[in-house]
């Protein structure tokens, strides 16, 4: 009996190892690049760099949907590079956005998808027939220190820029001001008074998109 239990546990362990290897191979086949190779190619030194900005600073458990399979594992979205970093034992990988269908960060229930028309990984703020998408970019504020006057910033600083889009069918509209919203939605029955109520912030745009889906 003891021998059968050991055999059973050995088979389970072997299956788990094979499954892990299959998942790792799938990540590599989907364009995964080991940290050391990617950051060496891009001249970024060691893996403990401090020049990257993340949607979450810590690794977050996520459902990663590739073209043919879903894998659950720790991930983080690198805003600076516009790519997903995947924690895989000691062999952490970098995945370019175009190889990803979607990512669900489970704890925060936050979804990112690869938007073909924008060629980037974007957050789905509102899902439905009308989608509100949020794109992240990093702006570099260059140092402007004047030693003679001892004024200005000695070092570069960075800020995350959010850009919102409304997607309907195969159309993706950039929302930069209320006029742009009117241009996107002018053919679906919104009145002039409706546009006056819209504010250029996420809460108002979220409410608008939810209204469109009702």
Predicted confidence band at 134 (pLDDT cuts at 50, 70, 90)?
Answer: very high
User: Does residue 5 surpass a pLDDT of 60?
Assistant: no
Half-sphere exposure of 203 (CA within 13 A, CB side): 1
- Place 93 in a pLDDT band, splitting at 50, 70 and 90: confident
Q: What pLDDT sits at residue 9?
A: 34
Tell me: pLDDT of 18 over 50.
no
Is the pTM here over 0.95, yes or no? no
**How much is the pLDDT for 169?**
86
Decide: 101 and 114 in contact? Cβ < 8 Å.
yes
Overall average pLDDT of the 45-66 stretch? 73
CB atoms within 10 A of CB 11: 10
- In angstroms, how far is the first alpha carbon of the chain from the final one? 61
As a whole-number percent, the residues of the chain with pLDDT over 90 amount to: 20
**Which has more pLDDT, 53 or 25?**
53
pLDDT, greater one: 32 or 136 = 136
Q: How far apart are CA 167 and CA 195, in angstroms?
A: 18
Please report, for residues 11, 29, 76, 94, the alpha-carbon distance to residue 33 in angstroms, rounded to integers and kept in the order given.
30, 10, 15, 5
pLDDT score at 156: 80
pLDDT digits (tens, 9 = 90+) for 158-211: 888 899 999 988 889 898 887 788 777 776 666 556 666 778 889 989 988 998
Q: Is the pLDDT of residue 89 over 70?
A: yes
Integer Cα distance of 214 and 166 in angstroms: 15
* Strands in the chain per DSSP E: 33-34, 60-65, 70-78, 83-86, 93-96, 102-105, 110-115, 120-126, 130-141, 157-168, 171-175
Structure tokens at 79: 């805003």
Query: What's the CA dihedral at 183, 187, 191, 193 to 10 degrees?
Result: -10
């Amino acid at each position: 009996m003891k021998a059968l239990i050991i055999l059973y546990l050995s088979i389970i362990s072997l299956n788990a190892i094979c499954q892990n290897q299959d998942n790792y191979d799938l990540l590599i086949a989907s364009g995964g690049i080991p940290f050391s190779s990617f950051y060496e190619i891009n001249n970024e030194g060691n893996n403990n760099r401090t020049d990257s900005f993340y949607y979450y600073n810590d690794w977050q458990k996520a459902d990663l949907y590739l073209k043919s399979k879903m894998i659950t594992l720790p991930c983080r979205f690198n805003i600076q590079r516009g790519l997903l970093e995947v924690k895989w034992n000691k062999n952490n990988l970098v995945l370019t956005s175009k190889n990803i269908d979607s990512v669900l960060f489970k704890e925060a229930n936050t979804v990112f998808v690869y938007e073909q028309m924008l060629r980037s990984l974007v957050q789905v703020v509102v899902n439905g027939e009308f989608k509100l998408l949020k794109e992240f970019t990093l702006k570099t504020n260059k140092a402007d220190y004047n030693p003679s006057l001892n004024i200005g910033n000695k070092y570069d600083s960075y800020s995350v820029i959010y850009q919102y889009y409304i997607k309907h069918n195969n159309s993706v509209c950039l929302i930069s001001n209320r006029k742009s919203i009117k241009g996107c939605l002018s053919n679906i029955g919104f009145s002039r008074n409706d546009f006056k109520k819209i504010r250029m912030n996420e809460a108002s745009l979220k409410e608008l998109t939810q209204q469109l889906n009702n």
